[in-house]
Amino acid sequence: MADPAMKASELVKWFGEGEAKTYAVRDVSFEAYFGEMLFIEGPSGSGKTTLLSMISGILRPNSGAMLVENRDIWSLSSDQLADFRLNTVGFVFQDYHLFPRLTTVENVAIPLILKKVEWNAAMDTSMRYLEIVGLKQRAHLAPVKLSGGEQQRVAIARAIASSPDILIFDEPTASLDGDTGRKIVDFVKKNILTEKRCIIIVTHDSRIFEYADRIMKMADGKIIGLEKGGSREE
Amino acid sequence: MAGILRIAFKLLVNDKGKFAALLVGITFAVFLITMMTSMFAGILKRASSTVINIGATIWVMDPAVYTVASSIPIPDYILDAARSIDGVNYAVPLFSGGATVKLRSGVYQAVTVLGLDDTSLFGRPELIEGNIEDIYAENGFIVVKDAEFAKLDDPKLGTEFEINDNSAVVVGIAKVTSGGLFGIPSLYTTYNRAIQYLPTSRYTVSYVLIEPKNSDAIPHIKEEISKLGYEALTKDEFMEKVSTFYKYKTGLGINVLLMTVISFVVGLSISGQTFYTFILENLEKFGALKAMGAKGRELIYMILFQAGFSALTGYGLGIGLASLVIAGAKLKLPSYAAQITYTNLIFAFIMVVIIAGISSYIGVRKVIKIEPFDIFRS
């Protein structure tokens, strides 16, 4: 068994107060490991996104503990949390959230710029990551001129540009057709996942389950099952 | 930090439509504010042109005088009394009045006549043609070559005309620091010729001009003149009195203030609304930046930079446009009373800083409130 990248213990999150109080996540505990691609699967409203936010230092749980690389992230100050997200976690948002007014390479460079890397060096590094995702030739185009799959790959390049140990994908195939979605996840599995990196993917797209090492099933804010995935390897 | 600001810059200027709207709003506001205040400054300066051109340190006048042109004659003994005050180096009379000139063409033209002390010619203008001694020649007058000069049919040395049915001849052409406000030409002659040519009341001295031995003597001189029932003002105090009159007793100041406030509100509305829309459209992106690890203060710097850059660019464009318009107007209308002063520039700058401050405050509030979680939830 590889080292645990993160360990969630009895995470609880509710929204609202009194009669309007609604539990989004109830007593969720799990571990994710380096070198693993863990899928979190469940229907809408099952608490996937809330859980994703709590394990990535974005949403503070009401109770429970979240250890990432043996560090309790919810004991960190807001600045330390920002640094944690910048240095340890890479995000690929469902809608990509690329900046339409910046070029593709500038989009990829954003985490590096936030890490205070000098502009030209950040651009050079970003070009290398664009090369990894096969979009070097599109570096100076605006993201809106790229296809959905290409935009997804730009978002992946941006997420890995700061060399994070943990990658978070939120519904990575939701905006893509089935074939493109599978290609993207296949690419991530082959090229982005390393023994020193843990990838967590929130999805309800069963067509890509074959790429998961494990699949954690959620419903009503609880984990209702943890099963081995297809672990498709070439 | 430079990299983040560069990102902010690109996000701003690459959104060409909104950036243009922002610039138009701020430029328009700065242009209007600068034009209004410059016109007002020009009017105020020209209203005090005689004070500036004569250049006396202390002016003695009737307390009821509010502008140079509306002088109230004072008795001759005030001149004698002024000369006897401790600390007075010298005191001279000045005549200031209006007259009608009949030109060689038969056309009548209103003029301002300044009569200088016969002995010292204190306050004489700088001649560009002729000799100052010729002012003592029979019927001698000096014409000021300013924007109104042409109204006297562009006179030359030796040109003759009539003032109140008295013959007059141009013996000198002079230049002065500041042109007058009311669009009429100015003539200089000696005090005695002025009171001879122009109908006057029992008293003939419009102002007594005093040069103190040193600046320490000024309070004492003012006090002594005050005991006589008259008012002694320094050059700056007199100009301030004239300015106060135009600002608060003519409606001019209120009108300019109203226009300036309207310009400010229009500029704030356009740029504030545009900047707010810009922030709203980029709100999710700011949230994504937060999620990626940007700190709140870094996002604030980005917004302040964007608002500040827009404001300063609009400020520069507005000032440039106002300068061009004023310069163009002065080419066509030499008597156009507008001047951009440092005070105008600072005032417009403060207005722009307020516009940028309010615009960015609105943006900062929105961006600070956005939670990265909203990005996932969306």
Which backbone phi and psi does B179 adopt, to 5 degrees? -75, 165
pLDDT beyond 70 at A99: yes
Kindly indicate whether the ipTM for this predicted assembly is greater than 0.95, answering yes or no: no
Candidates B44, B45, B72; CA nearest to B60 is B72
| Same domain assignment for residues B79 and B225 | yes
**Confidence band of A231 (pLDDT split at 50, 70, 90):** low
Task: Find chain B residues with C-beta within 8 A of A119's C-beta.
Answer: 2-3, 6
Tell me whether A82 touches chain B (CB under 8 Å).
yes
Q: What pLDDT, on the 0 to 100 scale, is given for residue B58?
A: 94
Q: Nearest CB to B11: which of A58, A99, A117?
A: A99
Task: Find chain B residues with C-beta within 8 A of A99's C-beta.
Answer: 7, 11, 285
Tell me whether A76 touches chain B (CB under 8 Å).
no
| Same domain assignment for residues B224 and B266 | no
3-class DSSP string for B149-202: HHHHCCCCCCCEEEECCEEEEEEEEEECCCCCCCCCCEEEEEHHHHHHHCCCCC
Q: What pLDDT, on the 0 to 100 scale, is given for residue A12?
A: 94
Share above pLDDT 90 across residues of chain B, in percent, rounded to a whole number: 35
| Same domain assignment for residues B219 and B268 | no
CA A131 – CA B2 distance, rounded (Å): 26
Do B376 and A94 make contact, defined as CB atoms within 8 angstroms? yes
| Same domain assignment for residues B96 and B208 | yes
Q: What pLDDT, on the 0 to 100 scale, is given for residue B321?
A: 95
Top mean pLDDT of B77-86, B264-273, B325-334 is at B77-86
Candidates A98, A181, A190, A92; CA nearest to A146 is A98
| Same domain assignment for residues B258 and B192 | no
Beta-bridge mates of residue B74: B205
- Axis crossing angle, helix A148-161 with helix A178-187, rounded to the nearest 10: 20
Task: Find chain A residues with C-beta within 8 A of B4's C-beta.
Answer: 113-114
In a domain, B341, yes or no: yes
pLDDT tens digits, one per residue of B28-75: 889 988 998 898 888 888 888 888 888 899 999 999 998 888 889 999
Those residues of chain B whose CB sits closer than 8 Å to some CB in chain A are 1-4, 6-7, 10-11, 14-15, 284-285, 288-296, 298, 371-373, 375-378
In a domain, B52, yes or no: no
Domain boundary among B229, B261, B288: B229
In a domain, B64, yes or no: no
3-class DSSP string for chain A: CCCEEEEEEEEEEEECCHHHCEEEEEEEEEEEECCCEEEEECCCCCCHHHHHHHHCCCCCCCEEEEEECCEEHHHCCHHHHHHHHHHHEEEECCCCCCCCCCCHHHHHHHHHHHCCCCHHHHHHHHHHHHHHCCCHHHCCCCHHHCCHHHHHHHHHHHHHHCCCCEEEEECCCCCCCHHHHHHHHHHHHHHHCCCCCEEEEEECCHHHHHHCCEEEEEECCEEEEEEECCCCCC
**For the residues A208-226, what does the mean pLDDT come to?**
90
Record the tokens describing residue A45, joined without a space. 């409203």
Task: Find chain B residues with C-beta within 8 A of A113's C-beta.
Answer: 3-4, 6-7
pLDDT beyond 60 at A1: no
Do A78 and B296 make contact, defined as CB atoms within 8 angstroms? yes
Q: How do beta strands A63-68 and A166-170 pair?
A: unpaired
Tell me whether A116 touches chain B (CB under 8 Å).
yes
pLDDT beyond 90 at A182: no
Tell me whether A49 touches chain B (CB under 8 Å).
yes
| Same domain assignment for residues B129 and B99 | yes
**Confidence band of B7 (pLDDT split at 50, 70, 90):** very high
Confirm whether pTM is higher than 0.80: no
Whether B93 and B79 have beta carbons less than 8 Å apart is answered as yes
Task: Find chain B residues with C-beta within 8 A of A53's C-beta.
Answer: 372-373, 376
Q: What pLDDT, on the 0 to 100 scale, is given for residue B80?
A: 92
Do A102 and B377 make contact, defined as CB atoms within 8 angstroms? no
Record the tokens describing residue A145, joined without a space. 């001129």
In a domain, B107, yes or no: yes
pLDDT tens digits, one per residue of A119-155: 999 999 999 889 888 888 999 999 999 988 889 889 9
pLDDT beyond 90 at B125: no
pLDDT beyond 90 at B255: no
| Same domain assignment for residues B215 and B82 | yes
For chain A, what is the mean pLDDT? Answer: 88
CA A161 – CA B222 distance, rounded (Å): 78
In a domain, B61, yes or no: no
| Same domain assignment for residues B83 and B123 | yes
| Same domain assignment for residues B259 and B363 | yes
In a domain, B65, yes or no: no
Mutation target for B interface from A40, A62, A112, A114: give the one with most B CBs within 10 A. A114
Q: Return the minimum-mean-pLDDT range out of A139-153, A181-195, B9-23, B291-305.
A: A181-195
Tell me whether A154 touches chain B (CB under 8 Å).
no
**Which residue type sits at A230?**
G
A117 to chain B: closest CA residue: B3
Q: What pLDDT, on the 0 to 100 scale, is given for residue A224?
A: 92
In a domain, B194, yes or no: yes
Top mean pLDDT of A159-163, B276-280, B305-309 is at B305-309
Do A93 and B288 make contact, defined as CB atoms within 8 angstroms? yes
Q: Nearest CB to B376: which of A85, A101, A170?
A: A170
Tell me whether A106 touches chain B (CB under 8 Å).
yes
Tell me whether A34 touches chain B (CB under 8 Å).
no
A167 vs B332, more confident: A167
pLDDT tens digits, one per residue of B95-109: 988 888 888 888 888
| Same domain assignment for residues B118 and B82 | yes
Task: Find chain B residues with C-beta within 8 A of A115's C-beta.
Answer: 293
* Residue B155, domain extent: 75-229
| Same domain assignment for residues B223 and B305 | no
pLDDT beyond 90 at B201: no
Burial of B77 (0-12, 13-18, 19+ CB in 10 A): exposed
Buried b (16+ CB within 10 A) or exposed e, A45-72: ebbbbbbbbbbbbbbebeebebbbbeee
Helix (H, G, I), strand (E, B) or coil at B141: strand
Whether A182 and A230 have beta carbons less than 8 Å apart is answered as no
Share above pLDDT 90 across residues of chain A, in percent, rounded to a whole number: 46
Concatenated DSSP letters of B31-100 = HHHHHHHHHHHHHHHHHTHHHHHH--SEEEE-TT--SSTT---B-HHHHHHHHTSTTEEEEEEEEEEEEE
Number of domains chain B is built from: 2
Q: What pLDDT, on the 0 to 100 scale, is given for residue A234?
A: 42
| CA distance to A25, A48, A65, B302, B351, per residue, from B278 (Å) | 35, 32, 39, 13, 21
Q: What pLDDT, on the 0 to 100 scale, is given for residue B218?
A: 94
Whether B160 and B115 have beta carbons less than 8 Å apart is answered as no
For chain B, what is the mean pLDDT? Answer: 88
Q: What pLDDT, on the 0 to 100 scale, is given for residue B378?
A: 61
B46 vs A118, more confident: A118
| Cα of B274 to nearest chain A Cα, Å | 17
Task: Find chain A residues with C-beta within 8 A of B2's C-beta.
Answer: 119
| Cα of B266 to nearest chain A Cα, Å | 28
Task: Find chain A residues with C-beta within 8 A of B293's C-beta.
Answer: 82-87, 89, 111, 114-115
Tell me whether A95 touches chain B (CB under 8 Å).
yes
| Same domain assignment for residues B178 and B283 | no
Q: Beta-carbon neighbour count of residue B73 at 10 Å?
A: 18
**For the residues A201-228, what does the mean pLDDT come to?**
89
In a domain, B62, yes or no: no
Domain boundary among B197, B229, B261: B229
- Contacts A–B by Cβ distance under 8 A: 84
Do B376 and A82 make contact, defined as CB atoms within 8 angstroms? no
pLDDT beyond 70 at A2: no
Beta-bridge mates of residue A8: A30, A66
Task: Find chain B residues with C-beta within 8 A of A116's C-beta.
Answer: 1, 3
